[in-house]
Amino acid sequence: MLVALKRILKSSWVGFRRDGELALATVFILVIAASLVTALFLSREVSQFLISNLQEKMDISVYFKENATEEEVLNVKDELLKMSEIKEVKYVSENQALESFIERHKENQILMESLEEVGDSPFLASLNIKAWKTSQYGTISAFLEHPSFENLIEKVDYFQRKSVIERVFSLTAAISKTGILLSLAVVIVAVLVTFNTIRLAIYNSREEIKIQRLVGASNWFIRGPFLAQGAISGIAAALICLLAFALICWTAGPKLEFFFPDLSLFNVFTKNLGFIFSIQFLAGVGLGVISSLIAIRRYLKA
């Protein structure tokens, strides 16, 4: 058993050296396949990061009339918290609103002076609401439009932000839908191209396979070197791919950060390094081995 394994590995290595061009072509195709899978994964990570970033920043605020008491406001807050759509409600009292305004603008002499002139706090108490999903803001705002709140609520700022919110909503939906379709198409193409390359390589060896059968080699003894070559190509492809992506993320990362300051592509890459290498390894080795296995089947029947 061990001897057979050793022979299979040796013969596949020799095959590699003697038919370098073909091996190179296979590795090349596998690199492309593994790269596509990696690119898909990275773009999904990045777009999810961007989407959740946008969603994180999204909220609506309800401003209460001046005569509303704190108790009434907190009642509304309790009501809101009963809704399943709501992730978080933050109460901002008149004073807190004032303080945070001062905190933000304390450098600005003119603003500070005019604030003093007004005397009384010009701010309204408000509830700051975050939903789980962008699509839920409509429901929440409808709830707040209810007539029973009419003499309590000054305004809901959903309508000012409606268009932005909806745009983000439709954008994220579109991104994930096309993303799924695109990945599916890309993966199918990658699988087909890889399979075909390997099928051709094995087709080239069909006479040899026939001879091996005729002199009494068992199917596994014949398959072995092809599978081992598929696996070696896959490993080589995964390594090349990993290196290439490390380089790309490292150089392109800062450029992306220019547009999306919170996003560090290189961090995304290093954080998921294990997973990325696993998918590259699986894509490379899996495709290499499974394609070989399927392609060689028809030659082993006689």
Partner 1 sequence: MIKFQSVTKIYPAHAGALMIVALEDVSFELSSKEFVSIVGRSGAGKTTLLKLLLAEEKPTRGQIFFDGLDVPQLKPERLPQLRRKIGAVFQDYRLLPTKTAYENIAYIMEVIGSSDEEIARDVPEVLEIVGLENRANNFLAELSGGERQRVAIARSLIHRPEVILADEPTGNLDPYHTLDIIRLLLKIQEMGTTVILATHNKDIINRLGKRVITLEKGRVIRDEERGRFIL
Q: What are the residues binding partner 1 (CB under 8 A)? A: 3-4, 7, 15, 18-19, 207-208, 211-219, 221, 300-302
Question: Sheet of 153-156: strands edge to edge?
Answer: 86-92, 126-131, 60-64, 153-156
Q: Are 125 and 94 in contact (CB under 8 A)?
A: yes
Instruction: Measure the CA–CA gap between 294 and 262, rounded to whole angstroms.
Output: 46
* Shortest Cβ 289–partner 1 spacing (Å): 21
Please identify, using beta-carbon distances, which residue of 19 and 157 lies nearer to partner 1. Answer: 19
The count of C-alpha atoms lying within 13 angstroms of the C-alpha of 166, restricted to the half-sphere facing its C-beta, is 8
Please identify, using beta-carbon distances, which residue of 216 and 261 lies nearer to partner 1. Answer: 216
* Shortest Cβ 203–partner 1 spacing (Å): 15
Please identify, using beta-carbon distances, which residue of 149 and 221 lies nearer to partner 1. Answer: 221
Instruction: Measure the CA–CA gap between 159 and 162, rounded to whole angstroms.
Output: 5
Please identify, using beta-carbon distances, which residue of 74 and 217 lies nearer to partner 1. Answer: 217
* Shortest Cβ 195–partner 1 spacing (Å): 23
With residue 219 as reference, give the H or E element that holds it: helix 219-259
With residue 268 as reference, give the H or E element that holds it: helix 265-271
Instruction: Measure the CA–CA gap between 285 and 228, rounded to whole angstroms.
Output: 10
Please identify, using beta-carbon distances, which residue of 1 and 110 lies nearer to partner 1. Answer: 1
* Shortest Cβ 10–partner 1 spacing (Å): 10
Q: Are 112 and 105 in contact (CB under 8 A)?
A: yes
Pull the structure tokens for residue 96: 């807190």
Q: Is the dihedral of CA 268, 272, 273, 278 positive or negative?
A: negative
Please identify, using beta-carbon distances, which residue of 199 and 213 lies nearer to partner 1. Answer: 213
Please identify, using beta-carbon distances, which residue of 104 and 297 lies nearer to partner 1. Answer: 297
With residue 114 as reference, give the H or E element that holds it: helix 109-118
* Shortest Cβ 198–partner 1 spacing (Å): 17
Please identify, using beta-carbon distances, which residue of 3 and 110 lies nearer to partner 1. Answer: 3
Q: Are 205 and 174 in contact (CB under 8 A)?
A: no
* Shortest Cβ 212–partner 1 spacing (Å): 7
With residue 289 as reference, give the H or E element that holds it: helix 287-297
The count of C-alpha atoms lying within 13 angstroms of the C-alpha of 92, restricted to the half-sphere facing its C-beta, is 18
* Shortest Cβ 206–partner 1 spacing (Å): 12
> Which burial class, exposed, middle or buried, applies to 280 when counting CB atoms under 10 A from its CB (0-12, 13-18, 19+)?
buried
* Shortest Cβ 133–partner 1 spacing (Å): 57
